[in-house]
Amino acid sequence: MSFEINKSVIVSDFNLFDSWEERYEHLIDLGKSLEPLDLDFKNNSNLVEGCQANVWLVCEIKNEKLNVMGDSDAIITRGLVALLVRLFNNCSVKEIIHTNNSFLDEIGLNKHLSMTRSNGINAMIKKIHEYCLNYIKK
């Protein structure tokens, strides 16, 4: 899997929709399909700061590849988590640290999600990036 492939799949998925209703329905469906996080993982250390709803992200690296799981108590935020899981899961650490947030524009989310929310997603992306960077530094 590579980030670029994941991204293009997501972008073309979103491009199928014309209305904001459909985009949200898609996001909500993504959220609903996300495997719930084990309660053990829903602790403060996995909580992502800077999101209005509770968001937990759990990162793990195996064979230089990221494995990321997450959850949220709000379904739209959960959809965003699912999006990031699809985007980053199984990507190589090296690739991830070179991605930037511009893909938010490319999948048309920056336009549709208000600042606070994209702040939320930015916080999630930051957490993933930092995890990968820390891994490389070691």
Partner 1 sequence: MFELKKIRSDFPILSKKRNEKSFIYFDNAATTQKPQEVINEVCDFYTHYNSNIERGMYFLADESTKKFNDTRSIVRSFLNAKLNEEIIFTSGCTQSINMVCFGFLNTFIKPGDQILIGKMEHHANLVPWQIASNRLKAKIIPLESSENGVIDMSDFKKKINSKVKFIAIQHISNITGHENNIQEICSIAHQHNAFVLVDGAQAVSHKSVNVHSLNCDFYCFSGHKCFGPTGVGVLYGKKDLLLRMTPLLFGGNMIGRVSFSNSSLGDLPQKLEAGTPNIAGVIGLGAAINYISSLGFNNIKLAEKLLAEKMWSALKAMNNIALSIKAPPQSPVFSFNVKGIHSYDVGTLLDEMNICVRTGSLCAQPAIKELNSTGFVRASLCFYNTEEEIELFVSALKKVIKLL
From 1, 8, 13, 24, residue interacting with partner 1 (rule: CB under 8 A)? 24
98 binds partner 1 (CB under 8 A): no
Sign of CA dihedral 108, 113, 116, 118: negative
User: Closest by alpha carbon to 4, among 129, 70, 109, 95?
Assistant: 95
Distance, in Å, from the CA atom of 28 to the CA atom of 74, rounded to the nearest integer, reads: 10
104 binds partner 1 (CB under 8 A): no
- Give, as ranges, the residues between 34 and 63 that touch partner 1 (CB under 8 A): 49, 52-53
Residue 38 vs 73, nearer CB to partner 1: 73
From 2, 33, 116, 134, residue interacting with partner 1 (rule: CB under 8 A)? 116
The answer to whether residue 91 is catalytic is no
Give the Å distances, CA to CA, from 69 to 19, 88, 106, 131. 29, 10, 23, 13
Question: Which chain residues interact with partner 1 by CB under 8 A?
Answer: 20-21, 24-25, 28, 49, 52-53, 73-77, 112, 114-117
